[in-house]
Amino acid sequence: MHITICGGGNAAHTLVALLGHREDIHVRVFAPYGNEAEQWRLGTAHHGGILAHTPQGPVLGRPVRISPYPDDVIPGADIVILALPAFVHRVTLEAIIPYIRPQAWLGALPARNGFLWEVQDVFKHLGRKPDITVFGLQTLPWACRVRVFGQEVDVLGTKEIVDIAVWPSTHREGIVSTLSHLLGVPLVLVENFLALGLADVGQIIHPGIMYGLFHQWDGTPFIDPPLFYQGMDEPTAHLLDAMSNEILAIRGELEQRYPQRDWRAIRHIGEWIRRTYGRSIQDDSSLHRCFVTNTSYRGLTAPMKPVDGGFVPDFRARYLTEDVPYGLVVTRGIAEILGVPTPTIDKVILWAQGKMHKEYLRDGKLNGKDLQSTRAPQRYGEGALEMVVER
Ligand code: NAD
C-alpha cells in the first residue's frame, strides 16, 4: 500500500514514523513548504527514518520518498493524508488533486469544519468530478511535538477514541476499519461531515475560553500566563454552556429536516467532557467544576507572548485563527442556513474577529469581507448542506 503524507510538522513526523515502520506500507512525503523537503532528506539520513519516542518505546519509520513536488509523490498513492493546520488545506488540495488517482482515499487529520466542501470545491474548479473517497478525523489521534526536525518526534499520548466521517458512504465501514488498523486508534464512524464538524467541541472551548479570559483585558501585561482550562471562571462556563446549547438547537433543526440521518454525535459539552475525561475529573457537579478539577488540564496555560513586564495574549494562536474560521464561523453559517439564532456564538465571533483584525459577521449576517478565507457554507453556493447530507 502506498500512503502519501502531506506536511512537515508534528503530525507529519508522527505519521511517517508510525506508518513507515510497517513492512506492508510505502510512505511518501509531500513537503512543499520552505526548504522542509531538503531538511527532511538530510534529517532522515541520520537514523534512517523518523524516530518516534512513544510511551510504548521507540518506533522508526522510513519514508521511501520525500519531495516538494506533488507529481513526485501523489500519483499512485492509495491513501493521501493531510497532516496540516486547516489554513493550508486549500493550497495543498489545489496542488495534489490534479495528481490523485481515481478511487484513492483522501483525508485530513484533523479535518476541522467544512473540509468536504473545500475538497469538492477544488475538484469543481479543476473541472473534475470528485471520483475519490474523502475522510476526516475530528482530531489528531496523538499529542506530539517534533524533537529534532526531520529526525525525531515525541508522541506524548494517544486518544482512546476518535470520530471519523467518510464520503461517500459506500463501503465506509470497511474504510474505517482499515484506517483504524493503520493508525492504531479506534475510530468511530459518525453520520457525515456535517455532524463531524458540529460535534467538534474545540470550536466552543478554545474561542469561548479566550473570550472569557481576555474580553475585559485592559492591555496591562500579565505577570505569568494564566491557566487556560483550570483558570476558567463561572461566567465562562455559562458562556460555553450557552454556545453548546445553540449548537444543540442546530442539531434539533437537522433532526427535523433529515430525520433519517443520525445526529447523535453532536453532544452537549457537559456530556462530552464527562465522557472524554471521566476519570480525570475530581468533581463533576457542574460544567465549571468539570473543567477546573480536570487533572488532564493541569498546568496548561493560555497562549501568550512575552513582552517587557510580563506576558500578553497571543491572538494569532490557533485557538482563534484555526477554531474561528474553520470551526465556529462554519457552524454559524450552518445555523444561518437553517434559521437557528446563535446570539452567544455571535458575541464570541464578534469579539474574536476584532482581535484577529478580520470581519466575518457584519450586521448580524455572515457577509463580512473576510468570509472567503473561512469554510462557511455560504462560500460554496446553494445546496451546500445537501452536498454533505446523503438522502
Ligand atoms: P504544525 O504546526 O507542526 O504544522 C506546521 C506545518 O504546516 C509546517 O511544518 C508545514 O509543513 C505546514 N505549513 C505551515 N505553514 C504553511 C504554509 N504557509 N504553506 C504550506 N505549508 C505550511 O502542526 P501540527 O502540530 O502537525 O498540527 C496539525 C494539525 O493538528 C493542526 O490543525 C493542529 O491544531 C492539530 N493538532 C495537533 C496536535 C499536536 O499535538 N501536534 C494535537 C491536536 C490537534
Q: Which domains does the chain have, with CATH numbers?
A: 2-190 (3.40.50.720), 198-390 (1.10.1040.10)
Nine-digit cell string for 10: 508534528
Alpha carbon distance 106, 119 (integer Å): 9
Instruction: Output the residue whose Cα is nearest ligand 1's atom 32.
Output: 85
Q: Which long-range contacts (CB under 8 A, 24 or more apart) does 227-231 make?
A: 227/297, 227/299, 227/300, 227/301, 227/302, 228/297, 228/300, 228/301, 228/302, 228/303, 229/205, 229/291, 229/292, 229/294, 229/297, 229/300, 230/291, 230/292, 230/294, 230/297, 230/298, 230/300, 231/292, 231/302
The radius of gyration computed from the CA coordinates of the chain, to the nearest angstrom, equals 21
What is the per-residue pLDDT for 391?
66
Nine-digit cell string for 320: 482563534
Instruction: Output the residue whose Cα is nearest ligand 1's atom 44.
Output: 140
| β-pair type (133-137, 162-167) | antiparallel
What is the Å distance from ligand 1's center to 104 Cα?
23
Q: Is the pLDDT of residue 321 over 90?
A: yes
Instruction: Output the residue whose Cα is nearest ligand 1's atom 3.
Output: 9
Indicate the residue type of 84.
Answer: L
pLDDT digits (tens, 9 = 90+) for 346-378: 999 999 999 999 999 999 999 999 999 999 999
Tell me the β-bridge partners of 27: 3, 63
pLDDT digits (tens, 9 = 90+) for 255-291: 999 999 999 999 999 999 998 888 889 999 999 999 9
Indicate the residue type of 366.
Answer: L
pLDDT digits (tens, 9 = 90+) for 3-59: 999 999 999 999 999 999 999 999 999 999 999 999 999 999 999 999 999 999 999
Give CA angle at 23 (156, 92), nearest 5°.
65
Q: Are 59 and 17 in contact (CB under 8 A)?
A: yes
- Alpha-helix residue ranges (DSSP H) falling in the chain: 10-20, 36-47, 70-73, 89-96, 115-125, 172-183, 193-198, 202-214, 234-257, 269-277, 287-292, 318-321, 329-338, 343-355, 384-388
Q: Is the pLDDT of residue 337 over 70?
A: yes
What is the Å distance from ligand 1's center to 384 Cα?
27
Nine-digit cell string for 50: 523518523
Q: Ligand 1 pocket: which residues have CB below 6 Å?
A: 7-11, 31, 33, 36, 83-86, 88, 110, 139-140, 143-144, 318, 322
What is the Å distance from ligand 1's center to 51 Cα?
18
pTM of the model: 0.95
DSSP 375: -
Mean pLDDT to the nearest integer, 84-99? 97
Active site residue 171: no
